Amino acid sequence: MLRRFAALLGLLIGLSACASPLQARRQAEARPGPETIVQAGEFAYALTYAGVERQYRLFVPTGFDLGKPMPMVLALHGGGGNMNIQANDNYYGLKAAARRYGYVVVFANGSARARAARMATWNAGICCGYAHKRQVDDVGFLRAVVDDVRRHVRVREGRVFATGMSNGGMMSHRLACEAPDVFRAVAAVAGTDGNSQCGDAQPVSVLHIHAKDDPRVPFEGGIGPKSLVRVDFVSVPETMRRWQTRLKCSTQAERVLEQPGAHCDLYQQCRVGAQLQLCVTDEGGHSWPGGRSVIGRRSGSDALSANDVIFRFFDQQR
């Protein structure tokens, strides 16, 4: 029964454009990571936080001068997924994007009842699953991950970012609220703001990407027609309104991208050093725009490349 529920949760919150856990396990495993990384590759690490051993993968693309500090992106999987799924470039393409834009990427793993944590979730405030029920301190854990990564590679000060899909996107919003001293900007895909309290946020930049026809985390909020848990999701307009207030942005937005099936709006006059941007696709459902789907699931919208929008947004943060 528990396995069945976890699988259903993965269908709800996880990404349409991602691999199944079985497919992810068929990928080559990341090799054990050294204390100090001296060459490109993908490395597996474990750390103990709050008495629990947890894992992450660290991807260092070729072409880096490892003697110089590097910008870093923390990538958070959807609910019911895991770090191996997020690291599957056949579906997300994050490692290919990291090569193009010059970033190291960290794929962190959420928590689950099972020790292997293959069907894991994040405690993103409003949900989800095991992590939310147990009130797991994922903000503290992800702070610890960033600190641990700094033991293995040199990370540029002020150039640490987070992105995530669905439950991972919600967790990105929570990091923007509760760890703006660590993350310069966040980018959430198909996962709205679930923070009941945030206060007067520091000037952290926020990008949100969402499809109008998302049936699981609906654009207009509430419980979607394909939502399998009873969560009253926050709408995209309310998410943007909250960040406009927190970052003291103007209510006026400038259309910075418009093409068939997608557009992006940049909100003006935010607090010094902060940007707020919304990108919307007409179609694509609950998925990663530009991502590939597995059999029987819907592909992300090809009207927009989430990876290009995200990394360009991160590049603009100075």
What pLDDT is recorded for position 139?
97
pLDDT single digits (tens) 80-114: 999 999 999 988 999 999 999 999 999 999 999 88
What secondary structure does DSSP assign to 117-137, as a single string?
-SSBB---SS--HHHHHTT--
CA distance 51 to 212: 41
Residue 231: pLDDT above 60? yes
In the chain, the domains with their CATH numbers are 2-14+38-315 (3.40.50.1820)
CA distance 207 to 162: 10
Q: For residue 272, what pLDDT band results from cuts at 50, 70 and 90?
A: confident
Residue 14: pLDDT above 60? no
Q: Of 37-46, 81-90, 134-143, 227-236, where does mean pLDDT reach its minimum?
A: 227-236
Do 77 and 16 touch, CB atoms closer than 8 A?
Answer: no
Residue 18: pLDDT above 80? no
pLDDT single digits (tens) 123-178: 999 999 999 999 999 999 999 999 999 999 999 999 999 999 999 999 999 999 99
Q: Order the strands of the 253-259 sheet from edge to edge.
A: 31-32, 41-49, 52-60, 104-108, 70-76, 155-165, 185-189, 205-211, 276-281, 262-267, 253-259
Determine the average pLDDT of the residues in 189-195: 94
Q: How high is the mean pLDDT of the chain?
A: 88
Residue 23: pLDDT above 80? no
CA dihedral 79, 80, 82, 86 (to 10 degrees): -60
Helix (H, G, I), strand (E, B) or coil at 267: strand
| Residue that is written with structure tokens 């929008």 in the block | 309
What pLDDT is recorded for position 34?
85
pLDDT > 70: what percent of the chain? 87
